[in-house]
Structure 1
Amino acid sequence: MLGALLVMSITVGHAQNLKDGPLKIERTKDNEVMNISTERQPLTAEKLWKLARVSGERVTPDGKELIYGVAHYNFETNSAERNLFSIPVKGGSPKQLTTEQGSESILDITAQGEIIYLYKGDIWKMQSDGSQKAKLTETEGKLADVKLSPDKKHILYSKSVLVNPFHSPDKYKDLPKSDVYVYDDLDYRHWDSFNDGRYTHPFVASYADGKLGEPVDLLEGKPYYSPQAPFGGAEDFAWSPDSKAVLYVAKKKAGKEYALSTNTDIYRYDLASGQVSNLTEGMNGYDTHPDFSPVGNRLAWLSMKKDGFEADKNDIILQDQNGKVRLNLTAHWDETVNAFTWSKDGKKIYFTAPVKGTIQLFEVLVPANLANKSLPRINQLTEGEFDVTGIVGEYDGGLVVTSTRLTRAAEIYRYDFKTRYLLPITTENEEAYAHIAETKVKGRFTKATDGQDLFSWVVYPPNFDPSKKYPTLLYCQGGPQSAVSQFYSLRWNLQLIASQGYIVIAPNRRGMPGWGVQWNEDISGDWGGQPIRDYLSAIDDLCTESYIDTARLGAIGASYGGYSVFMLAGVHEGRFKTFISHCGLFDMTSWYGTTEELFFANQDLGGPYWDAANEKTYTDFNPITYVEKWNAPIMVIQGGKDFRVPIGQGLEAFQAAQLRGIKSRLVYLPEENHWVLSGHNAQVWQREFFRWLDETL
């Protein structure tokens, strides 16, 4: 894939119905109610990066305390520091547990309240109040993706293994200062790094008194990745409830087969015998996130059907403990699952999924008899203009979740089963938002050219006055099958853009999840067709409003959104005055020849350019075809380490604009990949973004 909170003044202690979205309380860090400043200032890029980054870790076994992480970015060091905190789930003051430099992640919380965590590649423990920190392991190679066995006698973790000497210092030991890569097959590079012949493998070892026994490489030195590259983690591992076996996710393919396939499987390794079995044999798409029920009688995982289709419908699969009966729990449901977790009693599964421009929380009962094949009803638990971005855990009476809005960064909430309210647990950014001017968000429906209803989010500037006219930006989402929801980004932040005086419209065009499986699939093979017409329909409809300055329209986007910008630049027929494309696909022919995940290109483009059946993709749907019609300024942003949309795409587009005499600018980030990860680089990105709009719009 081209690589996710409305404010209201209330009295402290009041709950908020989910249709109004997550709660916002104005109070000081001492928990005192404070007046909302009438002199709020617009959000800036600097303020955005100073916001706390909140993430959930674990709910204690008794359900009373939440352990969570908070990261703060430091402009001087150009890095973020993350520490752990605890707070009562049902209300109270936070307590900081760690202050050491470096990030910690929770591995386990014992029944006695001890917190077992990973820090700088070793296992540590501390008391529930953060005291008595003690290092439990001292390993030569740092541990990663750690999972402790339920009986605490074994450890499952990952480390890098040299399998193929693709890099010359490994191939020719007498030439240690050489820097040459030699390949005879594909998978020579992925995401932002060349394959040096090292693969991440799962290892299992005995664990006692902080000492590890002799580790066993579960992939036996083969050229396979587990966790999956480049973004897989500990969620690709699981222990059986009896601690006698481990599960791991792997795509046991190499070279061209690896680049052309999404067929990951879930493998079971038996500790006693060393035997490996494939639990998902015959299931051809992604099979990921294995997780046993708390009582151990069921295994669940996420599964896609089609090999090569990375944005296929994601279903929850259940299997009994003997592996003889299997049930697709969401087969009858016309949406796709993001992530899931078991209820404490194992009788339900809770999950998140996109729906109608948001991401919401759902539940489904687990059938007592999987062989019955009768599929239970799926219930939507939350509804409102917000995203439920993750499920942290369960407490007595509800769930702990993370949530965002287009105007609010992530915080942690508790969802009450009885009241169906979301109530805030963390309020890390309240004080900051008390001084930031509000940006109104509204949903809007448009009739697309084929008569379908097309939904968009529209974000308005602070102090919006409908009697005035505003420059307006069409936001084009990447993916292409990524949801435009109530997300909150450090780069493509629609609140930040609107805060500079622009109206922003973000359509849920064809290809986005949350509007049914067919809507999501309709973009494949039709990149430059209906999705582009959807974008034009959305902006044309918004332009019927008197407050839109139709002489000052712009189109912006990244990845597929960047492709959309390049396409629109050639077919917009004078609508737009300026364009900004980040890591956009410009020439589909050269892109097919240089991108790395070919399964994606084959699914979404139809296949290679030398196949006559795909001619339309490389002509009618190819932005380079329309360069002669470019007539408006365009800024091109390109990462030097972007192998998904390689550097040639941005350079070709900029060079074409320059040679055609069109005002254009290249923003080249040599050390960035498909994203912008450095804080300082992100600040430059934002400054150049708004400088361009100031000049051209």
Structure 2
Amino acid sequence: MTLKATKFTPEVLLTAPRRSAALPSPDGTRALFTVSTYSFEQHKKTSQIRVLDIASGQSTLLVEDLNSSEPNWLSDDEFLYLKNGDKGATSIFVGSVSESSASSHYEVSSVNGGISNVKVKKLPNGTTALAVSALATPDGELANPDAEKKPYSSAKIYTSLFVRHWDSWVTENSSSIWYAALEKRDGKYFLGGKGLVNALAGTKLSSPVPPFGGTGDFDIGPLGLVFVAKDPELNPAIYTKTDLYFIPLTTFTEAKPPSPKIVATPGLHGYTSSPVFSHGGRKVAFARMRSKQYESDKPRLLLLPDVDDVSKVEEFYATHNGEGGWDARPETIVWSADDSTLYVTAEKEARSLVWEFPASPADAKELPAAVKAVEGSVGDFRLLSDSSSKLFVTSTSLIDNSCYSVVDPSHNTAAIVSSNSKQGKTFGLSRSSVGEIRFKGAGEYEVHALVMRPSNFDHSKKYPLAFLIHGGPQGAWADSWSTRWNPAIFAEQGYVVVSPNPTGSTGYGMALQDGIKGEWGGRPYNDLVNCFEYIADNLPYVDTERAVALGASYGGYMINWIQGHPLGRKFKALVCHDGVYSTLNQYSSEELFFPIHDFEGTIYENREGYEKWDPAQHINSWATPQLIIHSELDYRLPITEGLAPFNVLQSKGIPSKLLMFPDENHVSISELA
């Protein structure tokens, strides 16, 4: 239950039930989802698997267990889910939504390791293909670090780049995809063949791609498995290149899988994502970037027309100059029931929208149209049913942390099935608090910003300003929910919140995004100066004499940069969360391709490019009180990037405070639930 309060507070934010994306049943009548909550009174987290009746919007509890997760439909009534056991083991369970008690659920199999990222697919022979991810040892066996014998020494020895990633040290184990067939006998499912088989054993390939790879990195179809993996010949610290592979499988009981076939994409050598089989099973839609050293390059939407020939791939909106005719970044991909249409999510000016394409690049004569029926941003979407022309959409907004809707793309309409916060009412929030502004950037371009006002806003009053700076830098503030940086939290404390999307931001075309290359403290900083001036001149209800600025990651870098420049004197206080103190320390990070791209070369080839935008070069001008927040498990920007600016502030006698989390990673300060 949400903590009772008279207004939206951090406590309410953290205790509000958090729902997963919902998965509709094959017949489109029900949807599975999980929900977790945290209680400050009991200091306890709970987790449930529930089923939603799409017609009524009412849900029913199926499983209440912190160790149970990832429900997937096996039929219109039966569902599969995972349950974590002792010493790192995982069990696969099956239950029925028509049974009111979880006691009727049964274990299909138990494996001595942690498995996750479940996908299932009904096969023509009547069985169900199952694919999961799990760690594999160098010899291809299932790894279970929790059950391994502890070494006598804690020493770690490395002889090549990429020794740690995100919040853990790299080990010899790697992520892999495992497959099996679920067969049914006497009314119950069991794993056919020899159980889970490592699809990537002996290949040097790893998938899903860490640290955030999941079910979007692979797909299963009636003819086999497609997956994305890093190029094993390139060092992952230096290159972003990932390739798409196809493994032909017919029964998913094959004890030894065929060798993966690499899908050729001439001219595109960057990150690959979102492979999805057509319903017919022969075609695969996916996305791929051009640059092999730019993690935020523009993905191109691609089609593999026939998995029997992985050498022929077609690109949507291809152009002779290689830039591509659609200036957007495709993400999630869904095929229509008849395989004639592709639905794709992509950002557009602070919102994630669904776009509609013909399923063949040859038929894509016009740029795609956006389906704008959903308020806020689309987080996940599926076909409503196996034969439906409608979509079941999971979305969030600045006022609603979870909304399920049925969308009809042909009429651009949406019917809300269930809103977790009753469209913000539970939190005391409404769309009337949300606004936006546009102002001139540092060049001949416009910059967009979101504005969040208090729920009791009065135009005749003046409010202090909370000026939020996003991370990335290739990212954006969006009309979507966040438990880390939630504008409504600041607004309900009495601030007007302005969240600008300056140079470097995604969703406004590649020219604005790529304009940050070699300009970390240049164009973006000047955009923010213009934003502050616009607020002072055009928003009479904002008191810019009482302003604070806050940012994380690249936003934290910008806070430290602002601290040493004139804009820093405009604020009463600054907040830097997991930020950059010195750009000369970028090689203490793990993914070196990031500074190599953004600072236009290695630090030994272009030291001047790193020095030019170094906040530490301007500490003589630091004067504004500042809060530093940093985490010891932040291997993207190590803890010293927080300690150094704090020590400078303290040494100079500038009011300052350090908040350190010993068990958190980069920008993921404890979310409790």
- Normalized against structure 1, the TM-score is what? 0.84
The one-letter code matched in structure 2 to 1:289 is S
Shift of 1:398: 2.0
Report the counterpart of residue 299 of structure 1 in structure 2.
284
Distance 2:641 2:535 in 1: 31
1:521, CA displacement in angstroms? Answer: 1.3
1:563 alignment partner in structure 2: 557
Q: Contact (CA 8 Å) 2:47, 2:65: kept in 1 or not?
A: no
- CA distance in structure 2 between the aligned counterparts of 1:431 and 1:483, rounded to whole angstroms: 23
Q: Is the 8 A contact 1:509 1:535 kept in 2?
A: yes
Counterpart CA distance in 2 for 1:174 and 1:217 is: 23
Q: Is the 8 A contact 1:57 1:106 kept in 2?
A: no
What runs of 5+ residues in structure 2 fail to find an aligned partner?
85-89, 140-144, 184-188, 318-323
The offset of 1:63, in angstroms, is 1.7
Work out which of the residue numbers 66, 82, 93 in structure 2 matches 1:124.
Answer: 93
Partner residue of 2:225?
246
- Does the 8 Å CA contact 1:207/1:213 hold for their aligned counterparts? no
Q: Deviations over 1:121-154 (max 9, x none)?
A: 3222222324432211122334323334533365
Question: 1:10 corresponds to which residue?
Answer: none
**Corresponding residue SS for 2:581:** coil
Aligned to 1:15: none
What residue in structure 1 maps to residue 79 of structure 2?
115
Q: Distance in 2 between matches of 1:645 and 1:571?
A: 22
Superposed counterparts of 1:651-690, under 5 Å: 651-679=643-671
**Which residue of 2 is the match for residue 33 of structure 1?**
none
The alignment status of 1:274 with 2:293, answered yes or no, reads no
Range 215-224 or range 599-608, more displaced: 215-224
> Hey, what does 1:23 align to over in structure 2?
none
Deviations 1:151-177 (A, max 9, x none): 33654333223339xxxxx9xx99933
Distance in 2 (CA, whole Å) between partners of 1:588 and 1:221 is 40
The structure 1 residue matched to 2:17, chosen from 47, 52, 55, is: 52
8 A Cα contact 1:635 1:667, kept in partner: yes
- Return the match for 1:217 from 198, 201, 208: 198
Q: How big is the shift at 1:40? A: 8.4
Where 1:611 maps in the other structure, the secondary structure is coil
SS in 2 for 1:98: strand
* Corresponding residue to 2:163 among 164, 177, 188: 188
Partners of 1:356 and 1:532 in 2: how far apart?
20
Q: Distance in 2 between matches of 1:104 and 1:487?
A: 24
Name the structure 1 match of 2:501: 508
Q: What's the CA shift for 1:524?
A: 1.9
Residues 401 and 420 in structure 2, CA contact (< 8 A), matched pair in contact too: no
Whether 2:133 is the aligned partner of 1:133: answer no
2:269 partner letter: N
* The 10-residue stretch of structure 1 (39-48 or 530-539) with the greater mean CA deviation from structure 2: 39-48
In the alignment, the residues of structure 2 paired with residue 230 and residue 160 of structure 1 have an alpha-carbon distance, to the nearest angstrom, of: 13
CA shift, 1:327, in A, is: 1.7
Q: Distance in 2 between matches of 1:477 and 1:122?
A: 40
Q: Residue in 2 aligned with 1:3?
A: none
Moved more, 184-193 or 227-236: 227-236
Q: Residue type matched to 1:319 in 2? A: L
Q: Could you tell me how far apart the structure 1 residues matched to 2:503 and 2:55 are?
A: 41
| Residues 144-223 of structure 1 mapped to structure 2, 5 A cutoff | 144-148=116-120, 150-151=122-123, 152=127, 155-163=130-138, 176-205=151-180, 208=183, 210-211=190-191, 213=194, 215-221=196-202
Q: Which structure 1 segments of 5+ residues have no match?
A: 1-27, 30-38, 165-169, 683-697
Match of 1:337 among 326, 330, 346: 330
Query: Distance between the aligned counterparts of 1:41 and 1:286, measured in 2?
Result: 47
Distance 1:215 1:399 in 2: 32
How far apart are 1:277 and its partner, in Å? 1.3
Aligned counterpart, 1:524? 517
**How far is 1:540 from its partner?**
1.1
Gap change, CA 1:385 and 1:541, over 3 Å in 2 = farther
* 1:207 CA drift (Å): 5.1
Which of 232, 257, 262 aligns to 2:240? It is 262
Please say if residues 562 and 583 of structure 1, whose CA atoms lie closer than 8 Å, have aligned partners that are also in contact. Answer: yes
Tell me the alpha carbon deviations over residues 453-491 of structure 1, each in whole angstroms, 9 at most, x when there is no partner.
111111112322232222112100001111211021112
CA distance in 1 between partners of 2:150 and 2:543 (Å): 63
State the 1:101 CA deviation. Answer: 3.5
The code of the aligned residue for 1:128 comes to V
Sort the Cα spacing of 1:420 and 1:431 in 2 relative to 1 into closer, same or farther, 3 A: closer
Correspondence for 2:383 among 375, 385, 393: 393
Q: In the alignment, which residue of structure 1 is the partner of 2:546? A: 552
Q: Letter of the aligned partner of 2:248 in structure 1? A: D
Q: Distance in 2 between matches of 1:159 and 1:517?
A: 36
Change (3 A) 1:154 1:357: closer
2:572 to 570, 577, 602: 577
Pairs within 5 Å for 1:82-101: 82-101=47-66
Distance of aligned partners of 1:293 and 1:181 in 2 relative to their CA distance in 1, 3 Å threshold: same
Distance (Å, rounded) in 1 between the aligned partners of 2:299 and 2:624:
40
What SS does the aligned partner of 1:496 have? helix
Letter aligned with residue 115 of structure 2:
L
Equivalent pair of 2:298/2:328 in contact (CA under 8 Å):
yes
1:284 alignment counterpart: 269
Structure 1 position 373, deviation (Å) = 7.3
Contact 1:107 1:118 survives alignment (8 Å): no
Secondary structure class of the residue paired with 2:560: helix
Is 1:351 aligned with 2:326?
no
Structure 1 CA distance for aligned equivalents of residues 565 and 374 of structure 2: 36
In structure 2, the residue corresponding to 1:601 is in which secondary structure?
helix
Q: Distance in 1 between matches of 2:242 and 2:403?
A: 33
Alignment of 1:384-423 (within 5 A): 386-395=376-385, 396=388, 398-417=390-409, 419-423=411-415
Deviation digits for residues 229-251 of structure 1 (CA, Å, limit 9, x no counterpart):
11112322222323xx3222211
Distance 1:116 1:40 in 2: 38
* CA displacement 1:92-129 (0-9 Å, x = unmatched): 4222222234332133332x532233333322222232
Distance 1:222 1:660, change over 3 A: farther
In structure 2, relative to structure 1, the CA distance for the partners of 1:598 and 1:327 (3 Å cut) is same
Aligned residue number for residue 530 of structure 2: 537
User: 1:486 maps to what in 2?
Assistant: 479
- Give the residue type in structure 2 aligned to 1:198: N
Is the alpha carbon distance of 1:593 and 1:327 closer, same or farther for their aligned partners in structure 2, counting shifts above 3 Å?
A: same
What is the letter of the counterpart of residue 316 of structure 2? Answer: L
Q: Matches of 2:622 and 2:476 in 1, distance apart?
A: 29
The answer (yes or no) to whether the contact 1:354–1:483 under 8 Å persists in 2 is no
SS at match of 2:612: coil
- Relative to structure 1, the CA distance from residue 467 to residue 647 in structure 2 (aligned partners, 3 Å threshold; closer, same or farther) is same
Using the TM superposition, give the Cα deviation of residue 428 of structure 1 relative to its aligned residue in structure 2, in angstroms: 2.8
- Bigger relative contact order (CA 8 A; separation at least 6): 1
Size of the aligned set, in residue pairs, is: 628
Tell me how far apart the structure 2 counterparts of residues 311 and 122 of structure 1 sit (CA, whole Å): 37
**What amino acid does structure 2 have at the position aligned with 1:247?**
V
In 2, are the aligned partners of 1:199 and 1:223 still within 8 Å (CA)? no
Please give the per-residue CA displacement for 1:484-532, whole angstroms capped at 9, x wherever unaligned: 1102111211001110011111111111122112112111221111011
User: Counterparts of 1:235 and 1:384 in 2: how far apart (Å)?
Assistant: 22
Residue by residue over 1:33-87, the C-alpha shift from the partner in whole angstroms, topping out at 9 and shown as x without a partner, is xxxxxx9832111011121212223111112222222221233665643322222
Equivalences for residues 370-389 of structure 1 within 5 A: 372=362, 375-382=365-372, 386-389=376-379
- Does the alignment pair 1:457 with 2:450? yes
Cα offsets for 1:366-416 (capped at 9, x unmatched):
13xx5x475454111116762122213324452111122212212211213
Aligned to 2:320: none
SS of residue in 2 equivalent to 1:69: strand
Residues 240 and 292 in structure 1, CA contact (< 8 A), matched pair in contact too: yes
For the 8 Å contact 1:446–1:455, the answer to whether it is kept is yes
**Whole-angstrom CA distance in 2 between matches of 1:485 and 1:505:** 12
> What is the DSSP-based 3-state SS (H/G/I as helix, E as strand, rest coil) of the residue aligned with 1:463?
coil
Aligned to 1:260, the other structure's residue is in SS state coil
